Structure 1
Amino acid sequence: MNEKPLLIVTARDPASAHALLPLIPSLNQAYDLVAILQEPALSLLSDELTSVGNLAIAFPIIKDFDQGTLEALSWLKTKKWTQSKIENKVIAVLTGISGPGFGVDEMMLAAANHLNIPTFSIQSSWGSINHETGVMPKVAFVLDEAAVDINKQRYPQMKSIAIGSLQHAKFAELSPSGIRDLHRVRFMDDMEHVLLGFYGQPLGNLECYQQTVETFCQELKKWKRPFKLLYRPHPKEAVNLESNPTWQLLKHHFPDVILDPFQAVTTSLCCVDLVISAFSTCGFDGLYLNELEDKPFNASVFLWFNKDLIHWATKCSDTKDLHLVKENLVLAVDNSNRLMEVLEAGLHEDSRRRLWQNAREKLPSARQAVALVLNALEADE
């Protein structure tokens, strides 16, 4: 019996984990699949890997990039994840593209490039590349042709293949209106209240991010409309809420703030009337959930007014503007004094319908994403 080729996949961030989820069953059939992960992706992918008879293997936390790359090299050379069970050659490494910092994605990418193992990465937002290490994949799976064009201009050494949004492929199985009808009632003892969702990001170490949250709280307290505030921490924030500066700020200004009680982020995204964040990918998720329905049920709002945070975010993504803002897929608070105005617009049916229509016209489909990834990996063998 012919052994299947050996494929290594890695992830550490939630977006990367959600992008890998729909791929795992097909990859497991085509390859001897080894998943080397760090939190929060480790927890997010463990059940899916177990369901196909595979394991989620934890890569150690190493804070020095060079040391971590040496560790990754030893994993690739000696196959630390197995006891001589798999003897065949690693034919490719498929990684996520993580946010700030570095970990298993970047270290394994650097090690694979050093060993001339073909490298592929899943780019979950337009133009996003981790610049802290300078390591890039040979091939990136990207959202659409706009992402291909962006990458051609910035990273001509990297090939880009448009596949759609893998992380949203499983959304087609959901009924957002059904989820909303079932769960929203637990928050709404008074149906006149607006339910706001604030979705955190692991940026508490940035003064400009905390300034953004503080300004949001100060302005929101001026709103005359009755509302309830729900907070969803990023998985990296949720490790220790008591030391989470964003949670502390929200609790200080709004003692009745509700901690998101749901395991799946999609549940609260379906319940809230506005999806608010600095620039979280949860705003992107909300667009796909609305796009599934015959009419929109909420809108995404980015707090896009702090110049230092904008500079930091656009520098990280190597863009002048966020694609979702530029394409009018989300509402942007470009001046803190306009917060009330933008929130009211997000509750208005005309504004929601405009965003919803833009999403239907511009969001990349994920229907062929899995097949396109498999075809590209097979062509490179």
Structure 2
Amino acid sequence: MEKKVLISARDNGGALSVLPVVRALEGDPRFVVTIVASGVASTLFQREGLTVNHVSFGDFDNIDAAHDLIVCAKELIETYRPDAILTGLSGPTAGIDEALIISASDVIPTFSVQDYWGDVNLTFGKGAGHYFVIDDLAEEITKLQVANSSVSKVGSVKHTSYHSIDPKTLKGRFRRTNGFEEDTFLVCLIGQPLWHLKGYRRTLEEALSAIANIPGAVAVYLPHPAEPKMAELPRWLPCVEPTKQILEVVVDSDVLCAVNSSVIADAVAYAAAKKQLFAVGAYMLWDGEIMQWLEETTGMDFVPLARTGCAITVGSNEQFSAFLMSARNEVHRERLFSAITENNLCAAGAEVRIVDILWSKLSG
């Protein structure tokens, strides 16, 4: 008998994490899929040619304010009568994903796909019954937060397509577009919408000062889509136009630096998928205000990819110069690549493993 799966997401990260699973389930005659989405996730799914039930609710920071959203979630469950609910994960507030989970009332199995280590949204007081996580560290952190939920390590679902992308088709594009020679030591600062933090400006100023003192090094700043328009950013930033294909930046950069950007995870995942190290990823975490922001937004005082040895945390602006010099060292790069290979963030077939686990759970 076919199993009906109700899938939801509400932002880009959540949608990208469940999209490969949607494709795998739609191609499997054992399942019938219904998609519910809000916000930009609706647009992303529609752009992929998928039928979406759009939910016009925003985000909430407590369940008492979300009465109408909960009613909507219960109505969706009553209408579609799913055998399982599968959600993406977004935060720090709650929305349709969390409303569906709490409305399932332990009667319908609930599953969530993580795209960040240990991410469990408990804003409405209840997590999913089962989490699909990236790696061993994600499994460890998740179990500490939701002891009553089960956890399966499957790899990074949103990066599964990286196995089919040939770096030869990307190489040189970003450099040619921005006028950089092939032998330029290119340090790309990945922008984030954090200009409300004075520590963000301080971090960038100190990083650019250090890069300017490295022979042959050139810095560029890649703005985040949520940042102000380039013309409104500080003139001292060496801005370049954003690219639709972030892997062009990964392949053409020597070093990627950020406070805590998913682009570094993209670089690590692509290195794992292609068995080749491209850019070295570094987190610039030496400012006290930035560290406070990191702990408040992730619940951790460290970045998981640095903890697993797949990227570098730079803990002071004095260390940053030394790091930049070491980033060219082949021994240093080999050590990083070894950790990336061992961690295997981008293990092929993550979505297939999720489908198999869903079937096992629902048909047993």
* TM-score of the alignment, normalized to the shorter chain, above 0.5: yes
- Alpha-carbon distance in structure 2 between the residues aligned to 1:208 and 1:175: 38
Match of 1:16 in 2: 14
Paired amino acid for 2:95: G
Question: Residue 168 of structure 1 is aligned with which of 150, 159, 163?
Answer: 159
Match of 1:47 in 2: 47
Give the deviation of 1:188 after TM superposition. Answer: 3.4
Question: Residue 252 of structure 1 is aligned with which of 235, 239, 246?
Answer: 235
Question: Residue 201 of structure 1 is aligned with which of 181, 192, 196?
Answer: 192
Which SS does the other structure have where 2:51 is aligned?
A: coil
Match of 2:255 in 1: 274
Change (3 A) 1:36 1:326: same
- Alpha-carbon distance in structure 2 between the residues aligned to 1:103 and 1:222: 47
The reply to whether residue 79 of structure 1 matches residue 76 of structure 2 is yes
Give yes or no for contact 1:8–1:90 (8 Å, CA) kept in 2: yes
Q: Work out the number of aligned pairs and report it.
A: 360
Change (3 A) 1:20 1:353: same
Q: Deviations over 1:92-137 (max 9, x none)?
A: 2211222433333333333334x74322111223222335554311
Spell out the pairing of 1:99-178 with structure 2 (5 A cutoff). Answer: 99-113=91-105, 116-130=107-121, 132-178=123-169
The reply to whether residue 328 of structure 1 matches residue 309 of structure 2 is yes
Question: Residue 98 of structure 1 is aligned with which of 90, 93, 100?
Answer: 90
Question: Residue 327 of structure 2 is aligned with which of 346, 363, 379?
Answer: 346
The reply to whether residue 241 of structure 1 matches residue 229 of structure 2 is yes
Give the deviation of 1:151 after TM superposition. Answer: 2.5
Question: Residue 57 of structure 1 is aligned with which of 48, 54, 58?
Answer: 54
- Alpha-carbon distance in structure 1 between the residues aligned to 2:344 and 2:217: 33
Give yes or no for contact 1:165–1:366 (8 Å, CA) kept in 2: yes
Paired amino acid for 2:178: F
Across the aligned residues of Structure 1 and Structure 2, the Cα RMSD in angstroms comes to 3.0
Match of 1:216 in 2: 207
- Alpha-carbon distance in structure 2 between the residues aligned to 1:56 and 1:276: 38
Match of 2:271 in 1: 290
Change (3 A) 1:58 1:198: farther
Give the deviation of 1:143 after TM superposition. Answer: 1.5
Give the deviation of 1:58 after TM superposition. Answer: 4.7
Change (3 A) 1:252 1:181: closer
Give the deviation of 1:88 after TM superposition. Answer: 4.3
Give the deviation of 1:340 after TM superposition. Answer: 1.9
The reply to whether residue 299 of structure 1 matches residue 280 of structure 2 is yes
Question: Residue 294 of structure 2 is aligned with which of 309, 313, 319?
Answer: 313
Give yes or no for contact 1:36–1:59 (8 Å, CA) kept in 2: no
Give yes or no for contact 1:17–1:45 (8 Å, CA) kept in 2: yes
Give yes or no for contact 1:5–1:88 (8 Å, CA) kept in 2: no
- Alpha-carbon distance in structure 2 between the residues aligned to 1:74 and 1:112: 12
Give the deviation of 1:365 after TM superposition. Answer: 4.6
Change (3 A) 1:8 1:180: same
Spell out the pairing of 1:334-373 with structure 2 (5 A cutoff). Answer: 334-373=315-354
Which SS does the other structure have where 1:329 is aligned?
A: coil
Which SS does the other structure have where 1:229 is aligned?
A: strand
Give yes or no for contact 1:198–1:229 (8 Å, CA) kept in 2: yes
Give yes or no for contact 1:279–1:302 (8 Å, CA) kept in 2: yes
Which SS does the other structure have where 1:253 is aligned?
A: coil
Give the TM-score normalised by the residue count of structure 1. Answer: 0.82
Change (3 A) 1:87 1:328: closer
Which SS does the other structure have where 1:344 is aligned?
A: helix
Change (3 A) 1:38 1:301: farther
Paired amino acid for 2:37: L
Give yes or no for contact 2:18–2:87 (8 Å, CA) kept in 1: no
Match of 1:186 in 2: 177
Give yes or no for contact 2:281–2:311 (8 Å, CA) kept in 1: yes
Paired amino acid for 1:241: K
Give the deviation of 1:62 after TM superposition. Answer: 4.2
Give yes or no for contact 1:197–1:269 (8 Å, CA) kept in 2: no
- Alpha-carbon distance in structure 1 between the residues aligned to 2:42 and 2:200: 27
Paired amino acid for 1:76: A
Paired amino acid for 1:374: V
Over the matched positions of the two proteins, sequence identity in percent amounts to 19
Q: Deviations over 1:14-35 (max 9, x none)?
A: 3322222211222224443232
Which SS does the other structure have where 1:101 is aligned?
A: coil
Question: Residue 6 of structure 1 is aligned with which of 4, 11, 20?
Answer: 4
Change (3 A) 1:197 1:134: farther
Give the deviation of 1:194 after TM superposition. Answer: 2.9
Q: Deviations over 1:277-314 (max 9, x none)?
A: 11212111101222344542321111121234324424
Paired amino acid for 2:204: V
